[in-house]
Amino acid sequence: MTPEITDSHCHLDFPDFEGQLPDIIQNAKDAGVTRMVTICTKLRLEPQVRAIAEAHAPVFYAAGTHPMSAADEPMASTDELIALAQHPKFVGIGETGLDYHYTSDSADIQKRSLRIHIDAARQTALPLIIHARAADDDMARILTEEYSQGAYTCVMHCFSSSKELAHAALDLGFYLSMSGITAFPKSQDLRDIFASAPLDRILVETDAPYLAPPPHRGKRNEPAYTAHTARKGADTMGVDYAEFAARTQKNFDRLFSKAAAYTVPE
């Protein structure tokens, strides 16, 4: 049997998948990807993302304000995020974070938004989903400062930052998620960071429709391709694919405990 894995981060509401979701979800199932978390990046779009999770049994969802949109969208409130989290298939807070690569001019707004999302994660006991790019020092500092004010759980989604940020996150008990970037030929430095991390802190994801791993690089990504990243992940961590799949499933269940405990209503 094909080992089961979970795509912990994708964007099924994006136009790339319009009218194709039944086939996309079947492709995923055929590849062993039995669950996926679709991420809402603008809270005004939450109803559409929620509807996808409600319509498809393997799909869960999370919502937050993406840092690149923080200056253009209404500022989220902790209460708003807590209210959204009452839905049975809402399993994480975010994605949120810091992105100074394209949007450094909104750094202060991003930081304020990030702290609101952290507070919501702390109060709901749902994992925080972090996007971090070109902001390693501020990210490590804020995550650590906030943790000292009260514990919370977190995944560094699509991790492709420095070993220093990886160590800061791991020291707080957080998780690192492998995306297709990990499978790119020139990503050996990133693979080395993952290889030095504990296997019980690793997740896998696509970030679909972006960042398709080889042999689909440059094309639209989809949840089924999590399997390609996971196979490279197994090689990186020095274990066989079945063990890597089983371990990352346990990791997902531990972090996304609400998804793990979910039962389909009768």
Domain-wise residue ranges, the chain: 5-261
The tens digit of pLDDT for each residue in 155-187 reads 999 999 999 999 999 999 999 999 999 999 999
What is the model's pLDDT at position 255? 98
Q: Which fold has domain 5-261?
A: TIM Barrel (3.20.20)
Mean pLDDT for all residues in the chain: 97
What is the model's pLDDT at position 265? 79
The tens digit of pLDDT for each residue in 28-73 reads 999 999 999 999 999 999 999 999 999 999 999 999 999 999 999 9
- pLDDT category, 264, cuts 50, 70, 90? confident
Residue 266: pLDDT over 90: no
Structure tokens at 252: 């997902």
DSSP readout, 173-207? T-EEEE-GGGGSTT-HHHHHHHHTS-GGGEEE---
Query: For residue 138, what are the CA distances in angstroms to 96, 122, 168?
Result: 14, 20, 12
The tens digit of pLDDT for each residue in 185-223 reads 999 999 999 999 999 999 999 999 999 999 999 999 999
pTM: predicted TM-score of the whole model, two decimal places: 0.97
